Chain A
Amino acid sequence: MNSRLLYALPLLTLVIMAGFFGWSLLSGRDPAAIGSVMVNRPAPSFAAPSLRDGQPALTSDLLKTGKPVLLNFFASWCTPCLAEHPLLLRLKEREGVTIIGIAWKNKPEEARAWLAKLGDPFAYVGTDYDGKLSLDWGLSGVPETYLIDATGTVRLHFHAPITERDLKETILPLLRAGK
């Protein structure tokens, strides 16, 4: 009896592993996801000089307007930023979303030229040349996008260019719920 159970052990191990791998495949879990500690926390401190000449500096008040906002870190030297740029433009034009941009480690004149050439989706745009502001946001590179809800709480943090799917499945539902 006892030894027969022992013989079943390899089979049992196989079944458990197969079950785990099957679940991993089917549940849509991303084992490489790191997550973000920013999500569901009040937005970190926020202050940046404006990228636009003669405009006032950006402050935390912009994140607490009673309306959800998107915060997007970008740079003119960043190719994936170029890829997500049309989506940001569409969000502004079709959905009327307030998007705040921060040029990360980007010379202001280069960031300005980039926006002038491709279109400017940002209601406000600041610059973080030395990366100090971005560190408070747990930024690891560009592009990264945060959704801050009406109460000033971070709800989403994308560590990658946003995609059509992100828009449809997470960003737009949250934005519409917040209005």
Chain B
Amino acid sequence: MRARLWLSPSGPSGHLPRQTGEGWGGGKRAVGALLLLLIAFPAFAVEPSEMLKDPALEARARTISRELRCVVCQNQSIDDSAAEVAHDMRVAVRERLTAGDSDRGVMDYMVARYGDYVLLQPPFKPGTLVLWLGAPLVLLLAGAALFLAARRRRVVTAPAPLTQAERDRLTVILSEAKDLPLQARGPSTSLRSAQDDR
């Protein structure tokens, strides 16, 4: 089956304050209007006419609405969406609650019509095992691999201490190095002298 072709009339998604055309004369007013424009006004999708009189029931409806996907929107809950279908679903949620359904019952009502897709939090079941356990599993495997690699590196033994003969030779080498002429200290010195000669 093809993807859904979303077509539904959607209401206003936001309200911006209208700037009054006073020109540049009223400087303060212009600044005020600009400041007002900076404030992002949240769009309230839930219309007053939809709300229930019982505040407890309305609160439950809001909680459920936040868990339900607006089926024509990209990752928006019906509580946030101004789409027509979201409005219908909000009304249906409130109708079910008024009829005495439990929260679970309302969710099941929606799932029976729109499938698990309507739930913003996917359920834990065989079909979603990879979704739920995939990322933690990869993390675990990577962690185990890192742990094993780190342990293997630590096993490398420290070099054996020098023998008396080796230590004597080292002393000789170090004392010879001290007596070397200055020119042999580094390439920069010799380079500069070569340029000076020219």
Closest residue of chain A to B84 (Cβ to Cβ) is A105
**SS of B interface (majority):** loop
A11 within 8 A of B: no
Contacts A80-B7, A159-B4, A161-B5 given; indicate if A36 touches B115 (C-beta within 8 A): yes
B3 within 8 A of A: yes
* B12-20, B31-39, B85-93, B172-180 - the one binding chain A: B85-93
B114 within 8 A of A: yes
Pair B1/A158 contact, Cβ less than 8 Å: yes
Closest residue of chain A to B7 (Cβ to Cβ) is A141
Interface residues on A, range: 20 to 34
A157 to chain B, nearest CB (A): 7
Pair B7/A78 contact, Cβ less than 8 Å: yes
Residues on A lying within 8 angstroms of B by beta carbon are: 30, 32-38, 44, 77-80, 105, 130-132, 134-143, 157-161
A39 to chain B, nearest CB (A): 8
The CA-CA distance from A168 to B117 in the complex, in Å, is 29
Q: B71 contacts which chain A residues (CB < 8 A)?
A: 140
**18 A-B pairs, CB-CB below 8 angstroms?**
A33-B1, A34-B3, A34-B115, A36-B1, A36-B115, A78-B7, A80-B5, A134-B88, A135-B92, A136-B113, A137-B113, A139-B85, A140-B6, A140-B85, A141-B4, A141-B85, A142-B8, A158-B2
Select which of B84, B88, B114 is within 8 A of A37 by beta carbon: B114
Pair A35/B113 contact, Cβ less than 8 Å: no
B72 within 8 A of A: yes
Q: B72 contacts which chain A residues (CB < 8 A)?
A: 140-141
The CA-CA distance from A140 to B114 in the complex, in Å, is 9
B9 within 8 A of A: yes
Q: A77 contacts which chain B residues (CB < 8 A)?
A: 9
Q: A80 contacts which chain B residues (CB < 8 A)?
A: 5, 7
Select which of A134, A138, A143, A160 is within 8 A of B2 by beta carbon: A160
Q: B92 contacts which chain A residues (CB < 8 A)?
A: 132, 135
B99 to chain A, nearest CB (A): 14
B135 within 8 A of A: no
